[in-house]
């Protein structure tokens, strides 16, 4: 079988608009968590345009349905909006069961839901720290444990975890968030080793700072703020060609490899130069107040 065409996440809008005519994911069933807004919504739109049947899971049920309806109005695959609380096993089970009943066996699970608190580590409320681990780590682990056994039985499948460049670096002001993403990297690495030879793939997509509600008030350092479309392009590319680590932008990969071999002082200097200090950037904490209050109480998915 010929390899599918390579889709670059640096492609132009005109090139992306051509994709629905090729629809390389026709016949594939893909579930996306936290897909009512932001990165998740962009990913769902991108995969549906490529021909996949896409299930949009979100804590906000109405938003999930509205998003599915809005995206379904454009050419592409079928879309289904469903309630999903990634911190609740029964909710995740119901979500996956409904997807398989309505659309068929899940070929790809995109674990996108995540939240972030920004500020001095000693000022972080305990419930904010616990919530980040519940959503960013245990929510992903829960999805993997529920969906991978079926994939392994079928001898094929793919889990794509939306992590962060914070899986490799740790910006000041994002201590717990970075810890959750480091944990996700380690867990995904170990599970990938267990699945070797089974036909089931695990991938990590690690973007820099993306223009979403989650990143409001934060700095990007020397790089530009990414769009959700750029991350969605990267996800499509890794679904078409599974591989473990995908950085957005790609040059971040070279920087993390360089940092890994530098001596301590040089590594610290590189970190200071390239990794934004979010404590210094967030001069007005009020810009994140509404978002962080909601994530502590309602556990909004990444936006």
Are the C-beta atoms of 164 and 181 separated by less than 8 Å? yes
**Rounded (5°) CA angle 109-115-117:** 160
Please confirm, yes or no, whether 177 is among the known catalytic residues: yes
Active-site option among 9, 177, 187, 291: 177
Alpha helices in the chain (DSSP H): 13-22, 38-49, 61-72, 89-102, 126-132, 139-154, 175-194, 228-240, 251-261, 264-274, 278-281, 289-297
Give which of 112, 16, 134 is closest to 56, Cα–Cα: 112
User: Residue 277 contacts by C-beta under 8 Å, 6 or more apart in sequence?
Assistant: 171, 172, 173, 219
With H, G, I as helix, E, B as strand and everything else as coil, classify residue 265.
Answer: helix
Catalytic center residues? 177
């Amino acid at each position: 079988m010929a390899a599918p065409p390579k889709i670059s996440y640096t492609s132009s809008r005109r090139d992306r608009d051509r994709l629905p005519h090729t629809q390389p994911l026709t016949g594939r069933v893909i579930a996306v968590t936290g897909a009512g807004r932001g990165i998740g919504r962009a990913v769902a739109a991108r995969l549906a345009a490529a021909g996949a049947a896409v299930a949009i899971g979100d804590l906000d049920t109405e938003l999930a349905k509205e998003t599915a309806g809005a995206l379904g109005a454009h050419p592409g695959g079928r879309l289904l909006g469903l309630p999903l609380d990634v911190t609740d096993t029964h909710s995740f089970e119901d979500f996956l069961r409904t997807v398989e009943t309505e659309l068929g066996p899940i070929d790809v699970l995109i674990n996108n839901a995540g939240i972030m608190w920004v500020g001095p580590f000693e000022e972080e409320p305990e419930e904010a720290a616990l919530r980040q681990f519940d959503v960013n780590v245990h929510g992903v682990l829960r999805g993997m444990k529920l969906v991978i056994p079926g994939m392994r039985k079928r001898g094929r499948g793919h889990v794509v975890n939306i992590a962060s460049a914070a899986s490799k670096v740790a910006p000041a002001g994002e201590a717990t968030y970075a810890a959750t993403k480091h944990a996700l990297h380690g867990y995904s690495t170990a599970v990938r080793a267990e699945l070797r030879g089974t036909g089931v793939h695990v991938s990590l997509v690690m973007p820099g700072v993306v223009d979403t509600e989650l990143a409001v008030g934060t700095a990007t350092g020397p790089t530009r703020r990414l769009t959700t479309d750029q991350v969605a392009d990267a996800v499509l590319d890794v679904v078409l060609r599974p591989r473990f680590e995908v950085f957005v932008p790609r040059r971040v990969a070279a920087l993390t490899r360089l940092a890994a071999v530098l001596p301590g002082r040089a590594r610290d200097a590189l970190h200071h130069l390239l990794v934004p200090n979010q404590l210094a950037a967030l001069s007005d904490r009020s810009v994140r107040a509404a978002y962080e209050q909601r994530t502590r109480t309602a556990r909004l998915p990444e936006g």
